[in-house]
Structure 1
Amino acid sequence: MKNIFVDGYNVINSWSELKKIKECSYEAARKELIEKLSNYAAYKNHKVFIVFDAHLVSKSTEKEERISDNIIVVFTKEGETADAFIEKTVNNIGRKIEVCVVTSDSLEQQVVFQRGATRMSSIEFYHEVKNVESKIKSKIERKYSEKRFTLEDTIQKEILEKLEKIRRSN
């Protein structure tokens, strides 16, 4: 299973739809990002760690919340940036398992690459997530259209013939 570390605020500030939501509420933007990445992670069978900075929040301790089997949200502790958390974690696991880091911070990309991870910009990741959303939508539409029933499929033939007779007589 591929592990993806996402710099949450970097992505929110890079994706125009999330940026608009952020203008009203950071909380709403975080929730929207988590929702989008939950669908993505489930479809791709990846484990996604969404890391948010809490380094400016006084007395904040690191918090990890498991949203599902595939989504883990991390709020860093006071004084620790998302970049520092991701670097530390990738340093420990980057050469043992498949890891990708999503950030548009070029220095961060270089550091995690040196530690064994692949990297992807926030915009590249946006296009990948949108592609997966499109595939999910197509799959749902296909399933829905396969399950559609017409009146002819649901009633007995004799009743259908009587209804047709009534329709033609009017």
Structure 2
Amino acid sequence: MRNIFVDGYNVINSWPELNSIKEYSFESARCELIEMLSNYAVYKGYKVFVVFDAHMVIGSLGKKEKINKNVIVVFTKENETADSFIEKTVNDIGRKNEVFVVTSDSLEQQVTFQRGAVRMSSIEFYHEVKNIESKIKNKIQKKYSEKKHTLEDRIGKDMLEKLEKIRKSR
């Protein structure tokens, strides 16, 4: 299974719709990112770690929250950046597993690459996620349009017979 580590705030600042949402609420931008990545991760069968800096939050002990079987959200502890968390984790698993790191921070890209991960810029990842969103929408639309939604499918046989009697009596 491919593991993808996403520098959450780096992505929020890079993706157009998230950047505009964050102007009103960082919490809303985080939630939107997590939802987008959940759909992406489930569709692709990848494990995605979304890492948010909490290094400036005094007393933060760090937190990991499993959103579903494919997405884990990490808030770093006090004095720990998303970059350092990702570097440390990639160092532990990067040579044993397929790991991608999503960030536009060039130094972070170099460090994680040296530790065995494949690097991907936030914008490259944006286009990949949007492509998958399109595929998901098309799949849903196709599935929905294949189903015929007739009156017979929606009402009981008794009611259908009564309606048929009314129609014939006219």
* Corresponding residue SS for 1:78: coil
1:2-151 equivalent positions in 2, closer than 5 A:
2-150=2-150
Partners of 1:14 and 1:163 in 2: CA distance = 60
- For residues 20-53 of structure 1, give each alpha carbon's deviation from its aligned partner in whole angstroms, at most 9, with x where no partner exists: 1101111110000000000000000000000000
Specify the code of the residue in structure 1 equivalent to 2:29: A
Partners of 2:14 and 2:39 in 1: CA distance = 19
Change (3 A) 1:83 1:153: closer
Quote the offset at 1:62 in angstroms.
1.4
Quote the offset at 1:55 in angstroms.
0.4
- For residues 36-95 of structure 1, give each alpha carbon's deviation from its aligned partner in whole angstroms, at most 9, with x where no partner exists: 000000000000000000000001111100010000000001101000000000000000
Partners of 1:51 and 1:151 in 2: CA distance = 49
Name structure 1 gaps, 5 residues minimum: none
Kindly tell me the number of residue pairs found equivalent between the two proteins.
163
Partners of 1:113 and 1:92 in 2: CA distance = 13
Quote the offset at 1:149 in angstroms.
3.0
- For residues 112-135 of structure 1, give each alpha carbon's deviation from its aligned partner in whole angstroms, at most 9, with x where no partner exists: 000000010000000000000000
RMSD of aligned residue pairs (Cα, Å): 1.9
Specify the code of the residue in structure 2 equivalent to 1:141: Q
* Corresponding residue SS for 2:68: coil
Tell me what 2:157 maps to: none
Identical counterparts, % of pairs: 73
* Corresponding residue SS for 1:67: strand
Name structure 2 gaps, 5 residues minimum: 155-159
TM-score in terms of structure 2 length: 0.89
Partners of 1:66 and 1:105 in 2: CA distance = 26
Partners of 2:153 and 2:59 in 1: CA distance = 64
Specify the code of the residue in structure 1 equivalent to 2:22: K
